Amino acid sequence: MLWLSICSLWFQTFGAPNPHRPPEDIAFSVARFFQKGGSVQNYYMYHGGTNFGRTSGGPFITTSYDYEAPIDEYGLPRLPKWAHLRELHRAIKLCEHTMLNSNPVNLSLGPSQEADVFADASGACVAFLANTDEKNEKIVEFRNMSYHLPAWSVSILPDCKNVVFNTAKVSSQTSVVEMVPEDMRPSDKVLKALKWESFVENAGIWGNPDFVKKGFVDHINTTQDTTDYLWYTTSIYVSEREEFLKKGSWPILLIESKGHALHAFVNQKLQGSASGNGTHSPFKFKKSISLRAGKNDIALLSMTVGLQNAGPYYEWVGAGLTSVKIDGFNNGTLDLSTFNWTYKIGLQGEKLGIYKADAVDKVHWVASSKPPKYQPLTWYKVAVDPPAGDEPIGLDMLHMGKGLAWLNGEEIGRYWPRKSSIHEKCVQECDYRGKFMPDKCRTGCGQPTQRWYHVPRSWFKPSGNILVIFEEKGGDPTKITFSRRKISSVCALVSEDYPVANLESFQKSGNGNSSSKASVHLKCPKTSSISIVKFASFGSPTGACGSYSQGECHDPTSLPVVEKVCLNKNECTVEVTEENFTKGLCPGTTKKLAVEAVCT
């Protein structure tokens, strides 16, 4: 039995909250698959990716295709997910021979509890004990022994006796990853500030028109996906007798589009923007506009944000304008949909390739240490040194609007720090229990879906790196920074009742006679060490990494014990034993050890 794609998460779309899938739930799904006779299983995705350039689909899928994978798009292990799944597969691997040479026998252990037992001719035995109750933990009896099964969990017993892994008990460390900002440094050491250069596109037709047509064309069929951009332009004449010119009550521009996004310009001035979203590409635009007596130029920049890549007849899903009207004239509403429209595919700077090293001089760039801010249709160029260190790099575009970015001619991709709605359903903490759905656990309501954009270190030269930005609607380029992605602290929480059968022992000797104590294992990146133990509590600590707090039961020696073992070390292990902590503490309770440490 094959499972070709278990989702490590789900994709993200611009303007939507960030989805999550806890490692406990992924591990539960994988363990259940093998419990029921599965033999081959694949993750989608195991290593996160980046949709460099214009390669993202959707539409509206973000440039980041991280998928909250066990290894993130920057190449760093995502902990505890990566380590928890590693331990899961080590446990399953111990069962391989027996499972491939026998058929499972199912035993009921309760209303929502069961065991699947594999036993081969040699007498070897493997068991998977499952609790599919979404709310309640259970104590089950199996072969005259008692086993604790948390809600929505599977325990793996390679010898039908010793538990080496439970999907809901995460003993692996959690790494806190931060994006550490670093101001961009000019490549010219004589300069004290960055030397920005800018070039402003014309709003509408540049060069010769591509064609003129009565009414509207489909955006995707016209551009053939050679660019995100298609200009729809026309002009109208406004009589001096129009009442709105006298009263100042401006007419309303009404636009309908099949998708995906739009910037509306009148007489070279941006009037407003609109877009669809990841669940509904079509949208409507409604905004008052400033018109003058005489000729008025209407230029509408239609944009795609990736192509449809799934669903019935998705190759027929189009984009672009379907209706344009202006309401508020003396004679009522003016319908421009049947006017002659002049079309231009793409942008001038894009056509000339001014983001490439051999083409940057094809337009006239204006140099300044203070580049124009919040100006639409603007190209920016700057020469910078690479960020210090060797950590992965992200480009922080929080203070920009929407557009494209390149480094040394390489396409970083679309950027759009579009915020999700504060009215979306987000959670403070994910509940791993129960069936997974993409919208089950989401965070970041009211925040940008994607702020940082991966720039591979291999794209940087020792000096003279040319960063080029095309900004569609306006932003502040002076606030663009590089950020280094680094692990700043590590945490771990284990309980006395976590599996103690030694995986190493099973792998070496094939039996579980050797066991180890439940323990906290912390490890910093190879070039750093533990400089501060921010929190340590043995007893009944509560909270999660970054927000641990002491419970009613607490051993006051916890912090000095952990500091003695871990301070100034790259990695350390603290066993949950009576030798390390106070004997007889809080009798009758299952105690935990929670630790958070800083890596520098």
**pLDDT by residue (tens digit) across 504-527?**
666 666 665 555 678 999 999 988
- Residue 69's SS3 state is coil
* pLDDT value for 515: 55
Q: Once rounded to an integer, what is the mean pLDDT over residues 543-570?
A: 96
Residue 327 to residue 364: CA distance in whole angstroms: 39
Would you say the C-alpha torsion 47, 53, 58, 62 has a positive or negative sign?
positive
Query: Would you give the end-to-end CA distance of the chain in angstroms?
Result: 46
Rounded Cα–Cα distance for residues 198 and 367 (Å): 7
Mean local confidence (pLDDT), 56-85: 96
Q: What is the pLDDT of residues 27-50, one digit of tens each?
A: 999 999 999 999 999 999 999 999
CA–CA distance, 459 with 467 (Å, rounded to integer): 11
What residues contact 219, with CB distance under 8 A and at least 6 apart? 230, 258, 302, 304, 318, 319, 320, 321
pLDDT, tens digit (0-9, with 9 covering 90-100), for 444-488 = 999 999 999 999 999 999 999 999 999 999 999 999 999 999 999
Q: Cβ neighbours of residue 199 under 8 Å, at least 6 residues apart?
A: 349, 354, 363, 364, 365, 366, 378, 379, 381
pLDDT average, residue stretch 65-79: 96
Asked if residues 507 and 578 have their Cβ atoms less than 8 Å apart, the reply is no
Give residue for tokens 């001719």.
121
Give the chain's domains with CATH numbers.
179-202+351-485 (2.60.120.260), 211-346 (2.60.120.260)
Task: Write down the pLDDT at residue 358.
Answer: 87
535, 595 Cβ separation under 8 angstroms: yes
- Cβ neighbours of residue 388 closer than 8 Å, sequence gap 6 or more: 182, 484
Do 457 and 398 meet the contact criterion of CB atoms below 8 Å apart? no
Q: Say yes or no to pLDDT of 428 above 60.
A: yes
Residue 315: pLDDT over 90: no
The values of phi and psi at residue 414, to 5°, are: -70, 140
User: Is pLDDT above 80 for 499?
Assistant: no
Calculate mean pLDDT across residues 345-357: 96
Average pLDDT over residues 395-408: 98
**What's residue 500's pLDDT?**
59
Q: How many CB atoms lie within 10 A of CB 268?
A: 13
- CA dist 572 and 563 (Å) reads 10
Element of type H or E holding 349: helix 348-352
- Joined together, the tokens standing for residue 451 give 């702020």
Amino acid 497: pLDDT = 83
Instruction: Tell me, letter by letter, the H, E, C secondary structure of 234-277.
Output: EEEEECCCCHHHHHCCCCEEEEEECCCEEEEEECCEEEEEEECE
169 falls in which pLDDT band (50, 70, 90)?
very high
- Lookup result for tokens 């009589």: 239
- pLDDT (tens digit per residue) in 365-376: 999 989 999 999
Please, which pLDDT band fits residue 247 given cuts at 50, 70 and 90?
confident
Predicted confidence at residue 501, as pLDDT, reads 62
Mean pLDDT score, 574-580: 90
pLDDT exceeds 70 at position 354: yes
Q: Tell me the two tokens of residue 464.
A: 């003279």
Residue 229 has pLDDT above 70, yes or no: yes
Please name the residues in contact with 344: beta carbons below 8 A apart, sequence gap of 6 or more: 204, 205, 206, 207, 209, 210, 230, 231, 233
Return the pLDDT at 496: 87
Q: How far apart are CA 428 and CA 406, in angstroms?
A: 36
Residues 6+ apart with CB under 8 A from 24: 84, 152, 153, 167, 168, 170, 432
- pLDDT over 70 (residue 383): yes
**pLDDT for position 7:** 84
Question: How far apart (Å, rounded) are the C-alpha atoms in residues 401 and 420?
Answer: 14
Distance CA 274, CA 262 (A): 5
**Mode of pairing for the β-strands spanning 40-44 and 2-7:** parallel
Q: Which residue has the higher pLDDT, 470 or 501?
A: 470
Please give the helix or strand (H or E) that residue 561 lies within, else none. helix 558-566
Residue 21 DSSP SS3: coil
The tens digit of pLDDT for each residue in 258-271 reads 999 999 999 999 99
Residue 466, SS3 per DSSP: strand
Segment 324-339 mean pLDDT: 97
CA pair distance 415, 406, nearest whole angstrom: 11
Q: What is the pLDDT of residue 204?
A: 96
What is the pLDDT at residue 131?
98
Q: Are strands 519-523 and 571-575 parallel, antiparallel or unpaired?
A: antiparallel
| pLDDT confidence band for 377 (50 / 70 / 90) | very high
Q: Tokens 């008990």 label which residue? A: 169
Residue 237 pLDDT > 60, yes or no?
yes
Percentage of residues in the chain with pLDDT exceeding 70?
97
In whole angstroms, give the CA distance from residue 57 to residue 309: 6
Residue 512: what pLDDT?
54
Higher-confidence residue: 242 or 577? 242
Mean pLDDT, to the nearest integer, of 568-593?
Answer: 91
**Measured between alpha carbons, how far is residue 50 from residues 7, 19, 23, 144 in Å?**
17, 17, 22, 52
